[in-house]
């Protein structure tokens, strides 16, 4: 019998009790979907080879976070040449950015990324200062259009995205189309710049042009500097597009409907461990029977948190209304156009969490956009 295809990675797990990063070898057996872990420091098996259906090969790339028996593991390297040769090109990374002129169309553009079999590994809404925009485009500082470009890039919110996938750099640039949106409309009418851009400065979106620039640009947005912080943290409510809705590919459609109807002031992709997810849902503990399942759902994968602001109004109840009844079965009967009716499966995998009580809007937004990120 042929040997099962086995991929090997180095993974890290941050242990909150000891405040230490533990390193393991992580093995994935493609044919049988089995996993196995080896403790590198103590030189012994940590997890015996066992079936683990929820992990797919596409989830395994450098920088990915996976959850194994409630432990969140970050893949930091390939652990053998076979895995590197097989997966390195398949897991190329690029930095995409939706520019201010297309920000309200960000959901449609995210949908185009998801539909192209590219994976979104990180995503953050930012508002760049003039200095930050000047730094991002520093290579063009001698060009005549530079001042205009810097003004434009700092004129409104942007969405930075880390895209991962086979030939991600070239694929994303092909989806973008020519630099000048007018040329794009003539030559590539289906491209993103043709559909959502205006001219040669305001051209809807950006994509890295090489591995090296991708690394620098991803570090600019997702490294420790955290440029362009934009959350309001007051007069606001919180919306979460849950992991099961992301797995089903609904994130772009949901973001689009939210952007068309609300004033979005912060957005970011998160992954939580059990301790943080339990803390966030603490108010439901002992109150709703689904508490444990809600925590399980939230830690099962990536999700997108969105802050919606409205001064002088009641953003919490407006968003609740838009999401519809908590149970999607009921929502489909009573409010068929609501987000949960469209994208939810059941009471736990109901696509969207939204703040319940008016006084909790600021607390929930602060939890993600202030406490967790600091």
Q: Which residues bind ligand GDP (CB under 6 A)?
A: 140, 145, 148-149, 179, 200-201, 203, 206, 209
Q: How does strand 20-29 pair with strand 6-15? A: antiparallel
Count the alpha carbons within 13 Å of 66 in the hemisphere toward its beta carbon: 24
Nearer to ligand GDP, 34 or 217 (CB): 217
Residue closer to ligand GDP by CB (options 92, 307) is 92
CA 374 to CA 372: how far, in whole Å?
A: 6
Closest to ligand GDP by CB, 74 or 183 = 183
Residue 287 sits at φ, ψ, to 5 deg, of: -105, -50
Q: Which of the residues are catalytic?
A: 206, 353
Strands 20-29 and 44-51: unpaired
Residue 311 Cβ vs ligand GDP, minimum distance, rounded to whole Å = 32
**What Rg, from alpha-carbon coordinates, does the chain have?**
21
Least distance from C-beta 44 to ligand GDP, angstroms?
Answer: 49
The span from the CA of 251 to the CA of 241, in Å, is 7
99 is in an annotated binding site: yes
Closest CB 109 distance from ligand GDP, rounded Å:
15
**CB-based contact 367:360 (threshold 8 Å):** no
Residue whose CB is less far from ligand GDP, 148 or 285? 148
Tell me how far, at minimum, the Cβ of 88 lies from ligand GDP, in Å. 24
Q: Smallest gap, in angstroms, from Cβ of residue 186 to ligand GDP?
A: 16
Given the complex with ligand GDP, which of 156 and 301 has the nearer CB atom? 156
- Is 179 annotated to bind a ligand? Reply is yes
Evaluate whether 300 touches 244 at the Cβ level (below 8 Å).
yes
Length of the chain as a residue count: 374
SS3 (DSSP) at 330: helix
Closest CA to 122 of 133, 132, 134, 110: 110
First to last CA, the chain: 52
> Which of 94, 87, 89, 88 has its CA nearest to residue 113?
94
On whether the CB atoms of residues 78 and 88 are closer than 8 A, the answer is yes
Residue 366 annotated as lining a ligand binding site: no
Q: Which residues are annotated as a binding site for ATP?
A: 99, 145, 173, 179, 193, 203
């Amino acid at each position: 019998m042929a040997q099962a295809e086995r991929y090997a990675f180095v993974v890290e797990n941050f242990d909150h009790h000891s405040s230490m990063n533990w390193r393991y070898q992580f093995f994935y057996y493609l044919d049988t979907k089995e996993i196995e872990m080896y403790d590198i420091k103590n030189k012994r098996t940590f997890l015996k080879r066992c079936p683990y259906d929820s992990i797919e090969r596409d989830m395994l790339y450098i920088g990915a976070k996976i959850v194994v028996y409630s432990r969140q593991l970050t893949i930091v390297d390939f652990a053998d040449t076979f895995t590197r040769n097989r997966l390195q090109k398949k897991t190329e990374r690029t930095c995409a950015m939706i520019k201010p002129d297309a920000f309200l169309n960000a959901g449609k553009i995210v949908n185009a990324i998801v539909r192209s079999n590219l994976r979104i590994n990180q995503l953050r809404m930012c508002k760049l200062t003039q200095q930050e925009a000047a730094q991002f485009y520093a290579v063009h500082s001698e060009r005549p259009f530079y001042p205009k470009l810097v003004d434009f890039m700092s004129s409104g919110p942007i969405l930075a995205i880390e895209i991962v996938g086979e030939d991600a750099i070239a694929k994303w640039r092909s989806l973008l189309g020519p630099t000048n949106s007018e040329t794009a409309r003539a030559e590539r009418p289906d491209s993103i710049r043709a559909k959502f851009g205006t001219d040669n400065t305001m051209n809807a979106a950006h994509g890295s042009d090489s591995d090296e620039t991708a690394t620098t640009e991803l570090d600019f947005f997702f490294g420790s500097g955290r440029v362009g912080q934009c959350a309001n943290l007051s007069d606001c409510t919180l919306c979460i597009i849950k992991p099961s809705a992301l797995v089903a590919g609904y994130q772009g459609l949901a973001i689009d409907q939210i952007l068309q109807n609300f004033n979005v002031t912060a957005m970011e992709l998160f992954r939580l461990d059990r301790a943080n997810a339990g803390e966030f849902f603490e108010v439901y503990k002992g109150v709703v029977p689904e508490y444990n399942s809600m925590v399980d759902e939230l830690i099962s994968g990536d999700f997108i948190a969105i802050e919606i602001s409205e001064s002088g109004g009641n953003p919490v109840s407006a968003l609740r209304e838009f999401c519809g009844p908590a149970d999607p079965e009921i929502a489909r009967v009573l409010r068929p156009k609501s987000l949960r009716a469209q994208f939810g499966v059941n009471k736990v995998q109901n696509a969207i969490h939204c703040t319940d009580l008016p006084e909790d809007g600021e607390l929930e937004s602060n939890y993600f956009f202030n406490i967790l990120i600091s």
